[in-house]
Structure 1
Amino acid sequence: MKVIVLGAGIIGVSTAWYLLEQGHEVTVVDRQPDAALETSFANGAQISVSFCEPWANAEAPLKVLKWLARDDSPLLFRPKLDPWQWRWGLSFLTQCTDGAFERNVQQLVALGRYSHESLKALVAQTGIEYHRLERGILHFFSSQKDLEGGAAGAELMRRHGVDRRVLSRDEVLRVEPALASYGPRIAGGTYTPSDESGDARVFTQELAKRCAARGAVFLYGHAIDGLDREGDRLGTVRIHDLASQQPRTLKADAFVAALGSYTAPLLRPLGVHLNIYPAKATRRR
């Protein structure tokens, strides 16, 4: 089967790899000159099953109201005259009940475990090096109130079988001695030995090279203009070369849209309405 993957981030390229494993003919389209140059370029780099509490919880609505005027808020929400933003916001509020929160935690933990195991198997298969650190992930807190919040999150994860431990100040410093100069201001922390970290950009670009070596075609520097139906199914994608502005139409048996927050507006004209909306991102160098 011929499959076109739209988007060369970590999800798109990983999807391309597994499609190749199943014997499909794969083409990947991305507007950037290489893989992983947008959302996957500089993300949090954490493979952290233990820290997957949903944003939507019983306390979230009040917190969002308090954060409206803050540019440094962890969840930046600025109301606009955008019906899709309000649609997303209302859906978010429906997930802030205790029952929805518990259900979502179960699903996120299961998905996180599956993703982590899949990553480990893929790394073992390919030998990709991407600055991987298998040292666990430590969170430390500078106030007793924040520590109590972290401890509650750790207890929640332990109920779902995730080994997220609550540490005293001395235990935090034993895990990470480099924090010694900051020690007096540390109230405590949480630590999960099974979590790890790595560079998503490096991983994705290395996996893309291996996909290309196995026959995948990467059309970098091509913007996606739209998808067209053929009867009751998708048949073609319209793209154009950003350098020459030359338009192209590609046919396939199946399509994968892995464009992050750009997936929703791409599919909307087809009557597919995904509740995906872009969120603020912060990174430190």
Structure 2
Amino acid sequence: MKIVIVGCGLIGVTTAYSLRQRGHDVTVLERAEGPAREASFANGGMLTAGMCQPWNGPGSWRILLRSLVRSDTALQLRLSVLPRLMRWGTCFLRNSTAAAFERNCRSNLRLALHSLEAMHALREQAQVEFGRAARGSLGVFRDREAWRSACRETVQLFSDGLVARRLTVAELVELEPALRPIAHKLSGAIHYLSDEVGDAQRFCEALAKVARALGVDFRFGSNVRGLEMHRGRVAAVITENERFVADRYVIAAGAYSTALLKDAGIRLPVQPAKGYSVTFKEANSIVGLRRPMIDHDLHAVLVPFEDGSVRTAGTAEFAGFDSSLKPARVRNLLALTRELLPEAQLNEGSAIPWCGLRPSSPDGVAIIGATPVENLWVNSGHGHLGWTLAAGSARLFTSLLSGDAPDIDPNPYSLKRFS
């Protein structure tokens, strides 16, 4: 089949490669001048099955309410976007009950484990290098009851394939000496053994190069204006200069997928959530951290990369399509870095700030597969887990579009669940 994909971030490029491997004729349209220039560019860098919980856990509504008057909460809600978020936000809150949160966690975990397996196969097949390190990740806790509760929840997920172990503070410091300066503030940790780390932007560049050699036609600098519809089907994708005709059309444009699908009369429940990061180049010789970690109480991720850089990431800001860097949020990340690494003496003046719009579904689970329009498909809504879920989502998507039996149950990721 001839297939046109809109979007060349993590989801778009892995989907293009997977479809081409299956024998399809693939063209990728991307408005930027290269792959992974937006939400995939400087993300947290973690391929984590262990920490794949949606943002809307029980009690998240309290954090959102506090964010209206404070600038340092993990979830930020801007008053200006409230009217646009009413329908989406209602579904978001409906999925923050304990039962819904557990169900959505399991859906993410199953896809994440499938994705890690798919990534291993892809890496061997395509021979791409992206600074991969496979030492697991660390979830650290300051509150003792929160640690105990997380340990209980982790044990419940063992049957789904999660591999992890509980660590006391002494065991944590023995495993990761770089955390010794904050050991007195911690209650315990969980070591997720299957988790990995890697540079997502570097991965996308490398995989796009391989895919192009296999015959994928990448059209960078192609700004998609919309979908041309005819008799209930997509007739073409229209850019500023060309008209692209195919048998199937795939929207993998992240947070911008919603507007494109609207042309076809489809309501995609995906909204942008702005994530921030700061990267310190050549800093790990000072820090000495070997594994990525997330401080569950501070809602901050600290990631060492194989090139020696260290990245702090965190927060989710619901501010519509405002992609500007807010100085207050950057200062907050720098303050979190100081809290996590009080003795590191990092040069904050050299920190490289970044933000990107994560495509977030209201239940925190990706949307993968067919739409009500016969020849129009979607792969979006991965939120903060795009890097983790990319390879598995592409494999699942390719199976569905090609009419093959998928390796995992596709129903939890279908757009139909919002009908």
> So what's the TM-score if we normalise by structure 2?
0.63
Which residue number in structure 2 is paired with residue 249 of structure 1?
A: 243
1:129-278 counterparts in 2 under 5 A?
A: 129-144=129-144, 146-148=146-148, 150-158=150-158, 160-240=160-240, 247-278=241-272
Is the contact made by 2:130 and 2:200 (CA closer than 8 Å) also made in structure 1? yes
Q: What does residue 43 of structure 1 align with?
A: 43
Contact 1:76 1:279 (8 Å CA) reproduced: no
Deviations 1:149-185 (A, max 9, x none): 5435534534644123221111111221222333333
Query: For residues 284 and 207 of structure 1, do their structure 2 counterparts lie closer, same or farther at Cα, with a shift above 3 Å needed?
Result: same
What runs of 5+ residues in structure 2 fail to find an aligned partner?
A: 280-419
Matched with 2:381 is none
1:191: how far off?
0.8
Counterparts of 1:5 and 1:76, CA distance in 2: 32
Asked whether the equivalents of residues 63 and 74 of structure 2 are also in contact (C-alpha less than 8 Å), the reply is no
1:11-30 matches, cutoff 5 A: 11-30=11-30
Render the CA deviation track for 1:119-148: whole Å, top value 9, x for unaligned. Answer: 111011111110101000012234435534
* Mapped partners of 1:126, 1:23: distance in 2: 15
Q: What is the DSSP-based 3-state SS (H/G/I as helix, E as strand, rest coil) of the residue aligned with 2:130?
A: coil
Q: 1:270 to 1:31 in 2, by over 3 A?
A: same
Q: Which has the higher mean CA deviation after the structures are superposed, 143-152 or 194-203?
A: 143-152
SS of corresponding position for 1:207: helix
Q: Report if aligned partners of 1:76, 1:280 keep a CA contact under 8 Å in 2.
A: no
1:22: Cα distance to partner? 1.5
8 Å CA contact 1:228, 1:237 repeated in 2: yes
Deviation at 1:220, TM superposition (A): 0.6
Alpha-carbon distance between aligned partners in 2 of 1:274 and 1:33, rounded to the nearest angstrom: 26
Q: Which amino acid aligns with 2:266?
A: V
- Deviation (angstroms), 1:254: 0.9
State the shift of 1:46 in Å.
Answer: 0.9
Q: Is the 8 A contact 1:225 1:239 kept in 2?
A: yes
Q: Deviations over 1:50-93 (max 9, x none)?
A: 11122223322223212322222211112335654111101111
Larger RCO of the pair (alpha carbons < 8 Å, separation 6+): 1
Q: Which letter maps to 1:41? A: F
Moved more, 143-152 or 105-114: 143-152
Q: In 1, Cα distance between the equivalents of 2:26 and 2:258?
A: 22
1:58 paired residue number: 58
Residue 67 of structure 1: aligned partner: 67
Structure 1 residue 98 displacement after superposition: 2.6
**Deviation string, structure 1 residues 92-135 (Cα, Å, up to 9, x no partner):** 11112232222212211111111111111101111111010100
Q: What is the CA–CA distance in structure 2 between the aligned matches of 1:198 and 1:224, rounded to whole Å? A: 30
Tell whether the 8 Å contact from 1:35 to 1:204 is kept in structure 2 after alignment.
yes
SS at match of 1:272: coil
Cα separation, 2, equivalents of 1:183 and 1:75: 26
2:358 corresponds in structure 1 to none
Sequence identity (%): 34
Label 1:97 to 1:256 Cα distance change in 2 as closer, same or farther (>3 A).
same
Q: Confirm or deny: 8 A CA contact 2:106 2:157 kept in the other structure.
A: no
Q: Quickly say closer, same or farther: Cα 1:171–1:140, change in 2 above 3 A.
A: same
- 1:187-246 Cα deviation digits (max 9, x unpaired): 321111111111111111100001110111111111110001122211111112xxxxxx
| Distance across 1 between alignment mates of 2:274 and 2:62 | 19
User: Which ranges in structure 1 are unaligned for 5 or more consecutive residues?
Assistant: 241-246
Distance of 1:25 and 1:161 partners within structure 2: 35
CA separation of 1:101 and 1:159: change in aligned 2, threshold 3 A: farther
Letter in 1 for 2:261: L
Q: Is the 8 A contact 1:50 1:157 kept in 2?
A: no
Distance of 1:81 and 1:219 partners within structure 2: 33
Residue equivalent to 2:409: none
Decide whether the 8 Å contact of 1:150 with 1:189 is kept in 2.
no
**Secondary structure at the residue paired with 1:4?**
strand
